[in-house]
Chains A and B, each alone.
Chain A
Amino acid sequence: MTDAASDHLPHTDSPHTVSGPIGHNEPRARARRTVAGKGRYVDDIVLPRMLHVAFLRSPHAHAAILSIDAAEAREAPGIVAVVTGKDMATQCTPYAGSHQLFKRLKAPDQYPLAVDRVLWQGEPVVAVVATSRALAEDAAELVDVDYDILPAVTSFERGTPPAVQLHDDIPDNIALVEQLGTATVGEDFPGADQVFEAQFRFGRITGTTLEPRGIIADYEPREGALTVHCSHQCPHQQQDIFARHLGLPEHKVRVLCPDVGGAFGLKQQLYGDEFAVCALSIMLGRPVKFIADRLESMVSDNHARDHAATARIAVKSDGTIVGMEVDDIFGIGPYSQYPRSSVGEGNHVLRITGAPYRLDDYRARLTMVYQNKSMIGHYRSVGHPVACAITEGLVDLAADGLGLDPADIRRRNFVRSSDCPRVSPGGIDMPDMSLETCFDAVVAAMDLPALRAEQAEMRKKGVYRGIGIAAFVELTASGPEYYGPGGNRITSQEGCHLKLEPSGVVRCWISVTDQGQGTDTGIGQVVASHLGVAMADVRVFSGDSETTPYGGGAWASRGIAIGGEAALRAATALKANILELAAVVLQADAGTLDIVGGRVVDRDTGTERMPLSDVARIGYFRQDTLPPGVQPELSVVRHYVTPRGRKFMATNGVHAAHVEVDTQTGIVRCLGHWVAHDAGVVVNPSLVEEQIRGGVVQGIGSALFEELRYDDDGQMLSGSLADYLVPMASEMPEITVLHVEGTGVEEELGAKGVGEAGVAGSPAAIMNAVNDAIAGAGLGQRIHTLPLSPERILGALGKVPGEL
């Protein structure tokens, strides 16, 4: 294993120097357990007298519920309860995915189960609780729901009055229209020599976590306490929701998120079926388990993307980009997701499009529409891949139109480090950018001139290869400025609780959560480094709303960027407390002491004075030897909230894709992929690299394979993994990840978020590479519709008819 820490490309001189495990490829404690099959996922948990629920889901995309007859089901073997939406609605208060920064957003109330109308195929209608899942499914078949089928809204065409209305008070089915920029969409671009326009289409996709959603709710009636085990990213958020909407005191709601088998933003919201499980446990006074099966995952997990955008780029003849415009229609399904609202993805498209470039004339419009399809929610890299593909598709279009090299036009228009601090026209604060450094790193790693030469040679032989480049600006580590004024009860702080145990080892509880990213390990590295102890002497716990400090969990790439800073502060504070106590014992000045390798040493000479075990022993067991008034504090909690006014920690990166298009079959082969990414200080290179690679693969999935297709009646056509094509190892390329350590971070740790980077740029890079192979060789038109299926590619090549 190479220690990639040595391969870092400094963007500027790094001010961050700390000894200890930061920067090393520390292995993950959790991984040692999970390779042995000792993972503990929700479905692995069995509680005494636990019941199982199966949901009867709507077979129709849009229908009125006329009646529900559950008499026969209630008599079926093993059945404990059959609960309809009307029954369920009495158990909780409704919820709406509003956001006060977008006051015009129309967000109708939702209930856990459909009450009198179903708005998508797969919406839960009736909960059937039994002693086993199989028996619950048997009985669910006996429930007779009488539907009046209504026409479904499945497409979004601007300006055409909808034939059907989803919500009573929203006659046009439009959830929100939002505009920003220096001019109105459609206006001329002053100062431009040429304007290029393209239509972009992004298919519906979904995170497809390998572990399906799952929850066990365990209500103890005598205590009035609800304990929930769920596969979720945000335990404190769920604690707040369950308490408020079920009318429970918050300190009697505990949410545990054990090992989570993939989340990717999909496990970040409230789902009606999961909420219903909590209510069922309260109703029945017994533990109730729900594990989504794959068929219901496909229709009930939040989907993402589903955008249709018209976009323009305005350039001067010399290749200077002067302006950009995006007009995005975003289908969000039947409701706005709760508690974060569904604005996030559209808002990101609005704000990040064009961001890597030094343009000032920018206009953007977002139209969010309700549809009779599954809910749209947050999925990894929310909005970034859409904004990046639009931006980079336009840049390639302009390069082609002006006869410029796609690399050259980018290099000359990037926001440079010297342009920063800058606020982009979309409102992104850029304290510093390292796009040029990232770009140069990618170009060098892939040897772009050599690949171009090879491409030209291969073309002569009738082999069509393409190179696609995509730069992106990435919003990580969300601060309090989005959900705070939005009125959404989503905390942006993270916390860390450290306790020195009597033997001198350290327990660490954190509010950020770990779904496999290695957050626990990264935090451990921060604590070990800043406290001065060995990794082996720090044990990290997360995913429990009762025992960890209050915090956000996992969202928007915050684990190390924010959680790490909280850990750094906790470690620094604990270190000060330890040294203060040691100073008393040693009758020394605390300022002359340090902790290195688990020992108190003289700061200047490094001479050992006493091991931490001795400090702890005295602090816990020999207080009698301490002078009066000395209070050992060997446990500390620290929290961290990002600087006021900073909405995000903006960073950036560059992707390049190398592909070969079989122009006869439309099959794309990925030959190589490169990513240079600015994560600031990299705490654990191997964790960052494979997380980025995983993101690249998800992005390639959305670019080439994954698409949730519906028919005109709103019936999903890709409802299983046989139809919804997730990337497999065979089709994926080797992916080179390059670290660029940029600045512009106020935090002492100096780490930026990394979770979005892989997904953010890979679809755009693949799209541009395919277009380079096809249109670049003069064989066909450019395609801006994802995924780039064989049929769409053959269509672009004029070999089969069909819409692009």
Chain B
Amino acid sequence: MKAYPFDYIRAESVDDVLSALDRYGTEARIIAGGQSLMPMLNFRLARPEVLIDINRLAELSGIEDRGDHIRVGALTRHVDVARSPIIARHVPVVAEAMTHVAHPAVRNRGTLGGSLCLADPAAELPACMVALGADLVVAGNNGRRTVPADAFFMGMFETAVDDGEMLIEVLLPKSGPGTRSAMDEVARRHGDYAIVGAAAVAEMDGPAFRDLRLVYFGVEDKPILARETAAALIGQSWSPALAEDLKSTLAQDLSPNDDSQASSAMRLHLADVLARRLLPRLADPDGPHPSRTENESVSR
């Protein structure tokens, strides 16, 4: 199919974008990497009157170490995030997540900000933001505001970016000495959106969980923080016995969707499986992890 007609504005600055948004309101759509918007346009599922292209906004690109956090511009391409030594060193969960994101040609064009603003419930990066407790900086005509990742993702394809606003950058907390992180997902094929996935960032006191943010994606309409499950683990060291109780706390945390991709019961099951695979990795990153074995809950 061919896209429905639209007008095109190439923005040269954030102010350009904001004034165009102001002028065209909800009839305008911002295009960043376009790896999700373009199929919607090609299939006539999205019909903006105006497309505001932000791909020339150099100020929105780049990865920068700012001491206590890493700043990633919204327009930074997936490929550059994936290959960044800064990300690999200071935000390893994002580096790990990138290995699951699509394929080379898509990673070369797709952007971090685009993925976050799309807010696909099955996407890896929004969940990583929530697990990290990242801050997302949004600009509007009234200036800039910082939205915590927890509050940014509001629903399926729905974010806290209001009409007339755009995402500028993401501030990622750096991994500390006791920080451990991991992510994993179950997808039919490599590079596909996950059926269920999870990202976890923990602060460890030796073998014990001091803080844990375990976030699921592909389960509900947005990334879900498994609070009850985390609460049950705080202060504890990982042991196979803990695994036995995970499913019941996860059932309190999650109300999984039921659709043609997977039943609600299957999603809860996979959430449990992923927790059993991720949590031991946090507790002992150097240990053996027989992740594909039937008796992983029995002994390691």
Residues on A lying within 8 angstroms of B by beta carbon are: 133-134, 137-138, 141, 293, 295, 461-464, 660, 662-665, 667, 705, 709, 717, 720, 722, 725, 727-728, 730-731, 779, 789-791, 794, 799-802
User: In the complex, which residue of chain B has the Cβ closest to the Cβ of A136?
Assistant: B2
Whether A134 lies near B2 (C-beta < 8 A) is yes
Q: Let me know if B235 is at the binding interface, CB within 8 A.
A: no
Given A461-B290, A730-B190, A730-B191, 11 more A-B residue pairs with CB atoms under 8 Å apart are: A134-B2, A137-B2, A295-B43, A461-B293, A662-B292, A667-B188, A725-B188, A790-B262, A799-B269, A800-B269, A802-B266
Contacts of A720 in B (CB 8 A): 43
Whether A791 lies near B2 (C-beta < 8 A) is no
Q: How far is the CA of A720 from the CA of B189 in the complex (A)?
A: 16
How far apart are B280's CB and chain A's nearest CB, in angstroms? 14
Contact of A790 among B188, B276, B293 (CB under 8 A): B188
Contacts of B1 in A (CB 8 A): 137, 293, 295
Q: How far is the CA of A730 from the CA of B192 in the complex (A)?
A: 12
How far apart are A203's CB and chain B's nearest CB, in angstroms? 13
Contact of B260 among A461, A464, A667, A709 (CB under 8 A): A709
Whether A664 lies near B191 (C-beta < 8 A) is no
Contact of B262 among A133, A709, A730, A791 (CB under 8 A): A791
User: In the complex, which residue of chain A has the Cβ closest to the Cβ of B2?
Assistant: A134
Whether B2 lies near A802 (C-beta < 8 A) is no
Q: Let me know if B265 is at the binding interface, CB within 8 A.
A: yes
Q: How far is the CA of A705 from the CA of B5 in the complex (A)?
A: 36
Q: A462-B295, A463-B292 are in contact. Are A665 and B186 (CB under 8 A)?
A: yes
Whether A663 lies near B270 (C-beta < 8 A) is no
Contacts of A799 in B (CB 8 A): 269
Q: Let me know if B4 is at the binding interface, CB within 8 A.
A: yes
How far apart are A258's CB and chain B's nearest CB, in angstroms? 23
Contacts of B43 in A (CB 8 A): 295, 720
Whether B296 lies near A462 (C-beta < 8 A) is yes
List B125-158 residues whose CB lies under 8 Å from chain A.
none
List B148-207 residues whose CB lies under 8 Å from chain A.
186, 188-192, 195
In the assembled complex, 5 residue pairs joining A and B whose CB atoms fall closer than 8 Å, in A order, are: A461-B293, A463-B290, A725-B189, A794-B266, A800-B266
How far apart are B257's CB and chain A's nearest CB, in angstroms? 14
A interface footprint on B279-300 (CB within 8 Å = 1, 0 otherwise): 0000000000010111110000
User: In the complex, which residue of chain B has the Cβ closest to the Cβ of A458?
Assistant: B293
List B1-22 residues whose CB lies under 8 Å from chain A.
1-5
Whether B260 lies near A779 (C-beta < 8 A) is no
Contacts of B192 in A (CB 8 A): 725
Whether B296 lies near A800 (C-beta < 8 A) is no
Q: Let me know if B234 is at the binding interface, CB within 8 A.
A: no
Whether A791 lies near B189 (C-beta < 8 A) is no
Contacts of A660 in B (CB 8 A): 292
The 7 closest A-B pairs by CB, nearest first: A462-B293, A134-B2, A730-B190, A462-B294, A462-B295, A664-B273, A800-B266
Contact of B296 among A141, A664, A779 (CB under 8 A): A664
Contacts of B44 in A (CB 8 A): 137, 141
Q: How far is the CA of A461 from the CA of B292 in the complex (A)?
A: 10
How far apart are B218's CB and chain A's nearest CB, in angstroms? 13
Q: A137-B2, A709-B260, A731-B189 are in contact. Are A464 and B294 (CB under 8 A)?
A: yes
Q: How far is the CA of A151 from the CA of B44 in the complex (A)?
A: 28
User: In the complex, which residue of chain A has the Cβ closest to the Cβ of B259?
Assistant: A717
Q: Let me know if B263 is at the binding interface, CB within 8 A.
A: yes
Interface residues on B, range: 20 to 34
Contacts of A717 in B (CB 8 A): 260
How far apart are A787's CB and chain B's nearest CB, in angstroms? 10
User: In the complex, which residue of chain B has the Cβ closest to the Cβ of A729?
Assistant: B190
Q: Which residue, A134, A665, A779, A802, has most C-beta atoms of chain B within 10 A?
A: A665
Contacts of B270 in A (CB 8 A): 665
Whether A664 lies near B189 (C-beta < 8 A) is no
How far apart are A60's CB and chain B's nearest CB, in angstroms? 19
Contacts of B186 in A (CB 8 A): 665, 667, 790
Contacts of A709 in B (CB 8 A): 260
Q: How far is the CA of A134 from the CA of B42 in the complex (A)?
A: 10
Contacts of A665 in B (CB 8 A): 186, 270, 273
Whether A800 lies near B263 (C-beta < 8 A) is yes
Q: How far is the CA of A750 from the CA of B265 in the complex (A)?
A: 56
Contacts of B265 in A (CB 8 A): 800-802
Q: How far is the CA of A725 from the CA of B1 in the complex (A)?
A: 20
User: In the complex, which residue of chain A has the Cβ closest to the Cβ of B260?
Assistant: A717
Whether B290 lies near A791 (C-beta < 8 A) is no
Q: How far is the CA of A525 from the CA of B191 in the complex (A)?
A: 41
Q: Which residue, B2, B190, B265, B292, has most C-beta atoms of chain A within 10 A?
A: B292
Contacts of A790 in B (CB 8 A): 186, 188, 195, 262, 266
Whether B294 lies near A779 (C-beta < 8 A) is yes
Contacts of A727 in B (CB 8 A): 189
How far apart are B196's CB and chain A's nearest CB, in angstroms? 9
User: In the complex, which residue of chain A has the Cβ closest to the Cβ of B293?
Assistant: A462
Whether B290 lies near A462 (C-beta < 8 A) is yes
Q: How far is the CA of A662 from the CA of B273 in the complex (A)?
A: 11
Q: Which residue, A133, A800, A802, has most C-beta atoms of chain B within 10 A?
A: A800
User: In the complex, which residue of chain A has the Cβ closest to the Cβ of B277?
Assistant: A664
How far apart are A143's CB and chain B's nearest CB, in angstroms? 15
Contact of A663 among B4, B39, B294 (CB under 8 A): B294
Q: How far is the CA of A295 from the CA of B292 in the complex (A)?
A: 37
Contact of B266 among A133, A141, A791 (CB under 8 A): A791
Q: How far is the CA of A801 from the CA of B188 in the complex (A)?
A: 19
Contacts of A664 in B (CB 8 A): 273, 276, 292, 294, 296
How far apart are B290's CB and chain A's nearest CB, in angstroms? 7
User: In the complex, which residue of chain A has the Cβ closest to the Cβ of B262?
Assistant: A791
Q: Which residue, B188, B263, B276, B295, has most C-beta atoms of chain A within 10 A?
A: B188
Q: How far is the CA of A293 from the CA of B3 in the complex (A)?
A: 12
Q: How far is the CA of A789 from the CA of B189 in the complex (A)?
A: 11
How far apart are B300's CB and chain A's nearest CB, in angstroms? 11
Contacts of B188 in A (CB 8 A): 667, 705, 725, 789-790
Whether B290 lies near A728 (C-beta < 8 A) is no
Contacts of B4 in A (CB 8 A): 138
Q: How far is the CA of A782 from the CA of B256 in the complex (A)?
A: 28
How far apart are B269's CB and chain A's nearest CB, in angstroms? 5
Whether A133 lies near B263 (C-beta < 8 A) is no
Contacts of A794 in B (CB 8 A): 266, 269
List B241-258 residues whose CB lies under 8 Å from chain A.
none
Q: How far is the CA of A664 from the CA of B296 in the complex (A)?
A: 10
Q: How far is the CA of A402 from the CA of B167 in the complex (A)?
A: 65
How far apart are A16's CB and chain B's nearest CB, in angstroms? 43
How far apart are A185's CB and chain B's nearest CB, in angstroms? 34
How far apart are A26's CB and chain B's nearest CB, in angstroms? 33
User: In the complex, which residue of chain A has the Cβ closest to the Cβ of B268?
Assistant: A800
Contacts of A725 in B (CB 8 A): 188-189, 192
User: In the complex, which residue of chain B has the Cβ closest to the Cβ of A791?
Assistant: B266
Contact of A730 among B189, B276, B295 (CB under 8 A): B189
Whether B294 lies near A705 (C-beta < 8 A) is no
Q: How far is the CA of A337 from the CA of B97 in the complex (A)?
A: 47
Contact of B2 among A133, A728, A800 (CB under 8 A): A133
Q: How far is the CA of A731 from the CA of B192 in the complex (A)?
A: 12
Whether A802 lies near B292 (C-beta < 8 A) is no
Contacts of B3 in A (CB 8 A): 134
How far apart are B277's CB and chain A's nearest CB, in angstroms? 8
Contacts of A722 in B (CB 8 A): 39
How far apart are B100's CB and chain A's nearest CB, in angstroms? 12
Contacts of A462 in B (CB 8 A): 290, 292-296
Contacts of A705 in B (CB 8 A): 188-189
How far apart are B297's CB and chain A's nearest CB, in angstroms? 9
Contacts of A789 in B (CB 8 A): 188
How far apart are B222's CB and chain A's nearest CB, in angstroms? 20
Q: How far is the CA of A534 from the CA of B4 in the complex (A)?
A: 55
Q: How far is the CA of A652 from the CA of B195 in the complex (A)?
A: 39
Q: How far is the CA of A417 from the CA of B141 in the complex (A)?
A: 83
Q: How far is the CA of A705 from the CA of B188 in the complex (A)?
A: 8
Q: How far is the CA of A727 from the CA of B195 in the complex (A)?
A: 17
Q: How far is the CA of A141 from the CA of B292 in the complex (A)?
A: 51
